[in-house]
Chains A and B, each alone.
Chain A
Amino acid sequence: DAKTTQPPSMDCAEGRAANLPCNHSTISGNEYVYWYRQIHSQGPQYIIHGLKNNETNEMASLIITEDRKSSTLILPHATLRDTAVYYCIVRAYNNNDMRFGAGTRLTVKP
């Protein structure tokens, strides 16, 4: 079973920041937060991951609360191509058994 809770859907205006929340209140000390997205039945695409510090890469930023019980994925300037289902996953660093939840369907609107 997935160890995360995400809103089923969100809308965002093109060019604005998209902030996608994720709750993972039972996360263990050795577990990381990973984010993937899936565009229309393609294979999921890795976005970013983190342990306890905030992380940023060319795609997004990840903000993890100090107690690590929740996080937020930020797409700074959403485009129509960012419309996808976004999955937040908690997993141990070296465990490739990823338990996907239902994810958040993000729709970016013109």
Chain B
Amino acid sequence: KAGVTQTPRYLIKTRGQQVTLSCSPISGHRSVSWYQQTPGQGLQFLFEYFSETQRNKGNFPGRFSGRQFSNSRSEMNVSTLELGDSALYLCASSSQGATYEQYFGPGTRLTVT
């Protein structure tokens, strides 16, 4: 079974631009969560989508948004990029099965200049 895939793997943007990142979960998984990882703040939860609805949300400004499609693929968008948005953005999927463990993708490395 294929794992979680994220595209693109690397991205360079300038301040003020917006960016869209994509995540394809493991086949059959309906939950997709997004995390931001920076050296200073570590791994921080952004939000979770389940069946096209946002189910949980972390403490990030409204510039960070997401959505999920009917095939469970998810996108996250960051508008008006700031230098501090430079980070590794990780996507994780999970099923509604017995163990609820999350499977992470390789991440998208975003650099804002």
Interface residues of A (CB under 8 A from B): 34, 41-46, 49, 87, 93-103
Residues of B within 8 A of A (CB): 4, 31, 33, 35, 42-45, 48, 55-56, 58, 88, 90, 92, 94, 99-107
| B49 (CB) vs chain A CBs: closest residue | A96
CB distance from B89 to the nearest CB of A (A): 11
Question: Contact: B55 with A44, CB < 8 Å?
Answer: no
Interface SS, B side = strand
Task: Please determine whether B104 and A99 come into contact, CB atoms closer than 8 angstroms.
Answer: no
Closest chain A residue to B43 by CB distance?
A: A100
Interchain nearest-CB distance for A31 vs B (Å):
12
Which residue in chain A gives the minimum CB-CB distance to B101?
A46
Assuming the A-B contacts A43-B107, A44-B43, are A97 and B58 also in contact, with contact meaning beta carbons closer than 8 angstroms in the complex?
yes
CA distance A100 to B104 in the complex (A): 14
Identity of the chain B residue whose Cβ is nearest the Cβ of A48 in the assembled complex: B101
Give complex CA distance A99, B102 in Å: 13
- Contacts A43-B107, A100-B42 known; 15 new A-B pairs at CB < 8 A: A41-B88, A43-B90, A43-B92, A43-B104, A45-B104, A46-B102, A49-B101, A94-B100, A96-B92, A98-B35, A98-B45, A100-B35, A100-B44, A100-B45, A103-B42
Residue of B44, B100, B102, B105 near A93 (CB, 8 A) is: B100
B48 nearest in chain A by CB position? A96
Taking A43-B90, A96-B31, A96-B55 as contacts, is the C-beta distance between A34 and B101 under 8 angstroms? yes
Decide: A42 near B101, CB < 8 A? Known: A96-B94, A97-B56, A97-B58: no
Contact residue among A45, A49, A96, A102 (Cβ-Cβ distance under 8 Å from B42): A102
Residue of A41, A87, A98 near B107 (CB, 8 A) is A41
CB distance from A40 to the nearest CB of B (A): 11
Which residues of chain B have C-beta atoms less than 8 A from A44's C-beta? 43, 90, 92, 104
Q: Which residues of A contact B43 (CB under 8 A)?
A: 44, 87, 100
Which of B35, B44, B103, B106 makes the CB contact (< 8 A) with A46? B103
